[in-house]
Amino acid sequence: MFRNVYAALFLLVGTLVQAVEFRAATFNIGAHLVIPASGSVYFDYGLGDPGTPDFDNVLAVLARINADVVALQEIHSADVAGNADDVDALAAALGYPYIFVSPTTNTFDTSLRVIFLSRFPFLTSSAIGSPAGTKEITRLFPAVRVDVPGTTRDPLMVAAHLKSGTASEDRFRRAVEMRRLTDYLATQGLTADDNYIIMGDFNLSSTNKTFTTLPTGLPSTFALGADIVLPITYSTNPLSYFSNPSVYRLDPRQINNSAATYQSGSVIDLFLVSPAIAGRPLATEIYNSLLDVSNINGLAKSGSPLASGTSATASDHYALFGDFELDADFPNLSIALSTTTVAEGVADGAVMLTVSLPATRATALNVNVSTDDLATASPITASLTIPAGSVSASTVIRVPRNFIQGEQRSVTFVASASGYDPAGIVLQVSDSDSPYAFTAAGQTISETFVGFDGTHFPSPWETASGVWQGIDTGSSAVSGFRTYGTLGDGSIGILADTASVTASMRVTNQSMALLRALQISFTAEQWRAVFGGRTDTLTVELLVNGVATPLPQLAFAASTSMPSGPIVGGVSSSRTAVVSGLTIYPGSSFDLRFTLVPGMGGGVLPSDVFLNEIHYDNDGADSGEFIEVVVSPGYTGAISNINILLYNGSNGATYGTHALSSFVAGTLTQSMHQIYSKFIPGIQNGDPDGVALVIGGVVKQFLSYKGVFLATNGSATGITSSDLGVAQTTTEVVGQASLGLTGIGGSYSDFRWKKFSGLPHSPGQANSDQTFSVPLSGQGIAIDNVSITFLIDTDLDGIPDMVDLDDDGDESSDLDEVTFGTDSLDRNSRFVMSLVYLSTEPRSARITFPTATGRTYTVESSLDLAVWTSARTEAGTGAVNVVEFPLAQTEKRRFYRMRVTEP
């Protein structure tokens, strides 16, 4: 028992320490099925009257765990009505003189209560609810400070029963209720050195959700306090709600190590304790009478084990209880993260965890860092050492991408060390696997599959159905999907059998721009080769509005000339294509689809023909005797050439011949193995006897049972049989015994003979534990480093700027605009000369033109458009220049042009 062990530990070090200990329990006693005389079944909530199964079984459970303080949820208001109510009777029977029942003032549930029963008086008692003028709480939370004898460090205890349900409004209400609970604790002046316990039914189910507005479905009288400002986040991690004071979540277990607190298997009842309590010796248990078979197992209990069905009758929840120590005071560890919010898949080093001491030590200290979700985030170094003279140590937190779309996750890290109170902190991890989307023109979407483990399709990609094989370096010949490479450098790997396989990604245009062109690139990799095998190809298509456009520039054909087997490191080939002329409006999507198409031929199909199953003996008169033969897909001969000869082992002679053409064709397996069978009455029972399989007069197999013998006639003349190694007896159950092959493969040598007992005969079908396959001749191909760029097309002519000679469509080439100093991306920015004829004598021509700094502008003139002469040269200043040229009286016309040069 916890109490005895703790005392012994202190006695061993020679100092007698009086440890003040107490036991606490929490138990949701409601709902249980009630089946009245009418036969109808309904849920009954509450305790019930003494003498009823409900009351008596709840009493039995509480008496067995024998706690000092008990929190009960789902006590019906009827259980606390009157002077001699059901709760009074329960408390009296258990020896609890002190009772506190939460009221129903300003609550949504006025039927069910949360209460405390105690052997010790309450120094204070109150109920946690909504502020005045609001209505938010389903059931008030009772809060009591218990006067435990022998200590001044009396614990504050809070019992909770949050709103149940998985709808958005239910999760919102739980988030608000947790806010009110933590607000209350913040007003109590608590520190990590104080003793406090929060326990009960928290109903933290479903998924995380952040609310930026009030959800629909709230009760019409729901009134949120003005002090709660949206957004507010609901989390299934209880520790994410607590900051100051902090709490530590205990991990009670049933005797069989199950964490379930609810009969369906979920974990919704919790023990949350202060760092001070968590830093001292403690022990917890989830009580399940089904496992209560001895007083040796689990925490110490009162009396004898209960009947196995007691817990199930008492409630649909299990009772949680724990032994806690109140007095010893330890210094506090502190824990910090470099950031408390991060997206999955960040590089190592983006999140650092630091554990600190309140003061330096003369000796080094080992600190353990644990997490409640290793798959989401974990310390690279779980055991830290704070050197002598130092106050802290740090480790990198690794946050891998899981390639599964989901909600934000909360991960709790706890630092613990001998002689110190533990410290905890929560890291919020957001999902990085949401659908791909462009939010602006010019953006590039990249997928490198770093961290992909190949055990499922990598969201947000979609793949054809199939088995995922995990991480593969090309060594596996099993067909299906995988990640070729390593966990640090994954891919979508495919080893196809005989059917085409697809993988696709969808991208949505969430920008405000019309998408007219894309640049697509990826790396095709080959990780496994079959010399002379199929020429498998990878084709790529772009699907817009359901219309597929092949992209032959991206196609890849696997090599068939490399040695068979894995290709170390893979062989890579980059592919790039520009797709123009698209019309993908904002809000619309497109798909990029990869298809691995198996090539023709390649590989050698097994051509074996062999005996697969035989039944010849059973209890009483022999019944259902049969022989089964398998013809492999590579067999090219005629079935009429195959015969089965029955041999008598006593004289070595045949006693029957059966052509395979007289057999019934049964299952044609997926690997194209054809199974034939025939019922043959009178197959002899052995000591020994045998069967020969003959193809074109040549013995392919000569097998016997219960010994070997030499054939004296027929095709097997002079050949000694091979014993199967298994045999039937005269005691076999009729219809449930045979001799057959088991294993995986395509030829006889891949299988082993086995006696099937207690299994129905299976003539014409594959045997139990038998799988037919053919050697794969396909190549192992991977898709990696996919990159899609939203190419900018300024004039929306379907030609991306990267190849368009006139990006802005103003009929001035980009090169000319660079020379003139105008903006090639603005169709309103053009070099325009204006010419005005001034007729007033003396006549002249006035030319106005813009200039750019660093350019030289030369006005040239001509009378015939053939011969041009320089008229004026001006240096560009960024201003608009005006020049005039006199015109002779005899001139009928004159032409002008501008020549611009840049350094």
**pLDDT tens digits for 81-101?**
776 689 999 999 999 999 999
pTM of the model: 0.66
Please tell me the predicted confidence (pLDDT) of residue 707: 95
Phi, psi values for residue 621, rounded to 5°:
-70, 135
Q: How many other C-beta atoms can be found within 10 angstroms of the C-beta atom of residue 822?
A: 20
Please tell me the predicted confidence (pLDDT) of residue 275: 93
Q: Which residue has the tokens 């609970």?
A: 181
pLDDT of 363 over the 80 cut: yes
pLDDT of 831 over the 70 cut: yes
**Under a CB-based contact definition with an 8 Å cutoff, are residues 825 and 843 in contact?**
no
DSSP E strands in 202-331: the ranges are 209-211, 232-234, 248-249, 269-273, 283-287, 319-325
b/e sequence 509-547, b meaning 16+ C-beta within 10 Å: bbbebebbbbbbbbbbbbbbbbeebbbbbbbbbbebeee
Q: How many other C-beta atoms can be found within 10 angstroms of the C-beta atom of residue 212?
A: 7
pLDDT of 201 over the 80 cut: yes
**pLDDT interval class at 466 (50, 70, 90):** confident
Please tell me the predicted confidence (pLDDT) of residue 758: 84
**pLDDT interval class at 38 (50, 70, 90):** low
Please tell me the predicted confidence (pLDDT) of residue 498: 77
**pLDDT interval class at 42 (50, 70, 90):** very low
pLDDT of 16 over the 80 cut: no
**pLDDT interval class at 602 (50, 70, 90):** low
Q: Which residue has the higher pLDDT, 466 or 562?
A: 562
Q: Which residue has the higher pLDDT, 802 or 666?
A: 666
Question: How far apart are the C-alpha atoms of 262 and 33, rounded to whole Å?
Answer: 14
Please tell me the predicted confidence (pLDDT) of residue 44: 63
Q: Which residue has the higher pLDDT, 903 or 569?
A: 569
Q: Please, which residues have CB within 8 angstroms of residue 593's CB and are 6 or more apart in sequence?
A: 502, 503, 504, 540, 541, 542, 543, 548
Q: Is 683 left (phi over 0), alpha (psi -120 to 50) or beta?
A: beta
Q: Which residue has the higher pLDDT, 24 or 794?
A: 24
Alpha carbon 664 to chain centroid, angstroms: 48
Angle at 140 between CA 138 and CA 143, to 5 degrees: 150
> What confidence tens digit (pLDDT) does each residue in 409-437 have?
999 999 999 999 999 899 999 999 999 99
Question: How far apart are the C-alpha atoms of 739 and 686, rounded to whole Å?
Answer: 13
Please tell me the predicted confidence (pLDDT) of residue 606: 85
Question: How far apart are the C-alpha atoms of 355 and 338, rounded to whole Å?
Answer: 12
**pLDDT interval class at 14 (50, 70, 90):** very low
Please tell me the predicted confidence (pLDDT) of residue 697: 95
User: Span 485-490, mean pLDDT?
Assistant: 86
User: Span 118-139, mean pLDDT?
Assistant: 96
**pLDDT interval class at 4 (50, 70, 90):** very low
Q: What is the pLDDT of the chain when averaged over all its residues?
A: 91
Of 276-290, 301-315, 391-405, 473-487, least confident by mean pLDDT is 473-487
pLDDT of 837 over the 70 cut: yes
> What confidence tens digit (pLDDT) does each residue in 728-769 have?
998 888 888 899 999 988 899 999 999 998 888 889 999 999
For residue 118, give Cα distances in angstroms to 47, 66, 94: 17, 11, 10
Q: How many other C-beta atoms can be found within 10 angstroms of the C-beta atom of residue 457?
A: 19
pLDDT of 1 over the 60 cut: no
User: Span 29-35, mean pLDDT?
Assistant: 66
Please tell me the predicted confidence (pLDDT) of residue 83: 61
pLDDT of 157 over the 60 cut: yes
Please tell me the predicted confidence (pLDDT) of residue 8: 24
Please tell me the predicted confidence (pLDDT) of residue 479: 85
pLDDT of 249 over the 90 cut: yes
Alpha carbon 155 to chain centroid, angstroms: 40
Q: Which residue has the higher pLDDT, 614 or 806?
A: 614
**Under a CB-based contact definition with an 8 Å cutoff, are residues 113 and 86 in contact?**
no
Of 262-266, 328-332, 782-786, least confident by mean pLDDT is 328-332
Please tell me the predicted confidence (pLDDT) of residue 235: 93
Phi, psi values for residue 671, rounded to 5°:
-85, 5
Q: Which residue has the tokens 């721009």?
A: 513
**Under a CB-based contact definition with an 8 Å cutoff, are residues 544 and 590 in contact?**
yes
pLDDT of 146 over the 90 cut: yes
pLDDT of 656 over the 70 cut: yes
Please tell me the predicted confidence (pLDDT) of residue 776: 63
- DSSP H or E stretch at residue 783: strand 780-790
Question: How many residues in total does the chain contain?
Answer: 903
| Structure token digits, residue 744 | 């995986």
**pLDDT interval class at 10 (50, 70, 90):** very low
